[in-house]
Amino acid sequence: MRIALLAPLPPEQNGIADYAGHLKHALENLGVQVDTPLQGIGNDPRQAEKRVEDTDWSGIDLVHAELGGGRLAEFQALRALRKRFPDLPLTATVHDPERLVWRREKLPWPLSIASGMRSPLPEIATVLADPLCLHEERQLARSMTRLVTLTRAGGQSLRQRMGLKESQMAVISHGNLAIEPAPLPPLQPLRLLYFGFIYRGKGIEDLLDALARVFVTQPELRSQVRLTLAGGSEPEMAFGPSGSYLDQLRLRIRQLGLSDLIDWQLDLPADQIATVIQAHHVMVLPYRESSKLKILGKLRGTSGALSWATACGRGVITSDARSFAEEVSHGNGMIYPQGDVAALASALSRICTAPDKAIQWAENAMQMGKARVWSQTAERFRDVFRQACEVD
């Protein structure tokens, strides 16, 4: 089988590029030939359309795309392909259901006039243009042969919002690397870990505030807990109009009196990620859903960081954002209401006072990890691809 993969790929630093890189490698290990016709263009929808026009598609059995992360190049390429080849099998992993892309490349005139104006006019224009964006998403989604989501909740929300048939849907859990199991470190001190890209909107402030609240009510726990903030800190993510986000986090840590309890592991090399995760007991993901996106729909994706916890055999405490509740329903962690600092503090207090919970969470996560290794995940994708090629 020869497929074309439309996706960002390493060395681009984002979760979808990592995902696509692992999927490509695992499919090739199964004997699938994988072409990457969009490689090198970045997130440029116009360049994507030109690549579609310039590429020889005659030997391609199926085209598979990775959609999400605010990218539009793959979406536009799929639209161009469907227009040019009505019968070509097209599939995609939708990382951010219940929508495919959530926004258009450009606002239509006259709403486009608001693009350069002061807030909130651009945001209002985006909302007013959303029916057109949703129409374009539905038009493409309904023409797709198969759409893959990482969770059942994501699949249900995508199917309902896009108006899809059950036969178009497939659920394949987020793949993960085959990581050699490692025992938990000694339970004293309890080592908590935030892992992921470090930028605004990840709820990291909630985690810091919750930890400080735990020590106010239970000061005896202060000597029994440490928190590591680890992950990518690319300048385009960590800097914004209000300055350096990392500097703001460090200031907040000092103000909360946590400086002696926080460790940093920024911009981890890929070959050190598993070692860092397994040096901790529990990963904490305090994500909040974007208030802007709530106007446009419900985000029901999952998380690459959560997949890393599973791969490394570590439990998680996470908010109920996205589809996290489904991913932490296997006895591998605890859920709390997103944005509820008191509830997060309570969850942290429970694991700190009963650290043995981390042992059971880790065992269950390890079993999940074994079932989700990329070699098996790629086999599930290959089955979906074969079925898609058989559709009349």
Q: What is the pLDDT of residues 315-336, one digit of tens each?
A: 999 999 999 999 999 999 999 9
Q: Are residues 157 and 268 in the same domain?
A: no
- The answer on 280 and 327 residing in a single domain is yes
Output phi, psi for 92, to 5 deg.
-160, 145
| Angstrom distance (rounded) from CA 139 to CA 161 | 12
Computed over every residue of the chain, the mean pLDDT equals: 93
- pLDDT of 80 strictly over 90: yes
Q: What angle (nearest 5°) sits at the alpha carbon of residue 350, between those of residues 345 and 354?
A: 150
Domain span at residue 26 reads 2-175+373-390
Give the Cα separation of 283 and 177 in Å (integer): 17
Q: 217 and 166, same structural domain?
A: no
The answer on 325 and 377 residing in a single domain is: no
- DSSP letters, 126-155, are HHHHHHHHHHHHHHHHHH-SEEEESSHHHH
Number of domains in the chain: 2
Does a structural domain hold residue 185? no
Q: How confident is the model at residue 122 (pLDDT cuts 50, 70, 90)?
A: confident
210 and 130, same domain (yes or no): no
The reply to whether 122 and 238 lie within a common domain is no
CATH number for the domain spanning 164: value is 3.40.50.2000
Q: Do 127 and 7 share a structural domain?
A: yes
Residue 159 and residue 97 in contact, taking contact as beta carbons nearer than 8 Å: no
Say if 246 falls within a structural domain. yes
What pLDDT was estimated at residue 347? 97
Assigned domain for 183 exists: no
Residues 260 and 312 in one domain: yes
> Do residues 104 and 241 share a domain?
no
What proportion of the chain, given as a percentage, has pLDDT over 70? Answer: 97
pLDDT digits (tens, 9 = 90+) for 350-375: 999 999 999 999 999 999 999 999 99
Global pTM reads: 0.89
Quick: pLDDT tens for 246-296.
999 999 999 999 999 999 999 888 899 999 999 999 999 999 987 777 788
